[in-house]
A and B are shown apart, each in its own frame.
Chain A
């Protein structure tokens, strides 16, 4: 079963714009991870944020976590056509446990 929802389900933006994706989940977590998937195959890990963290940055990525609202957001700044992919959040209840995925956001960046 899936932990929660992501919104929007699909997002289309112009190259250079920022893209924001949101993820909500249902239970308490140890950490939350964001992944990117191209062409329906392997998942690429982007960033991990732990339950005691509120914000993390990695290059053009910024992730926030609000455990009181059970939600997270992924911001991609200065988007590029190569950022076109599906993005998934996934939660982990305890360290080393399985990932429970959200429904994903399909991002299209127009050149």
Chain B
């Protein structure tokens, strides 16, 4: 597609339920990033995938959070046993990476997660 897409755009869930958020990066982009934006924490990095390398998971806030990227394209961010503090906008970005002029990260519209 023309840009990064994310689904769903909005998700309301009950505390304790699991949720899955999906990201479709720009075709051909080798790097994929997940960030979240919340009122208290601003914009923070969660995890990123670069080609076939092991993902950088250093930003994941707890072991309830996990992500995978299948076939080097689509990524799913899973939050298990959601808590109210998980409420935030989850943003996905992709970049061409790997060379000069390719570091620009292009963001999707985000998924607004509300945990009741």
Contact = CB atoms under 8 A, between A and B. Distances in A.
A binds B: yes
Contact of B105 (A1, A2, A45): A45
B45 A96 contact: no
Interface residues of A, number: 25
Contacts of A90: 43
Q: How large is the interface on B (under 10, 10 to 19, 20 to 34, 35 or more residues)?
A: 20 to 34
B97 A95 contact: yes
Interface string B97-111: 110001111111110
A42 B56 contact: no
A101 to B, nearest CB: 4
Interface in A17-42: 30-31, 33, 35, 40-42
Closest 6 CB pairs between A and B? A101-B43, A96-B97, A43-B107, A42-B109, A98-B45, A41-B110
Interface of A: 1-2, 30-31, 33, 35, 40-45, 48, 88, 90, 92, 95-101, 103-104
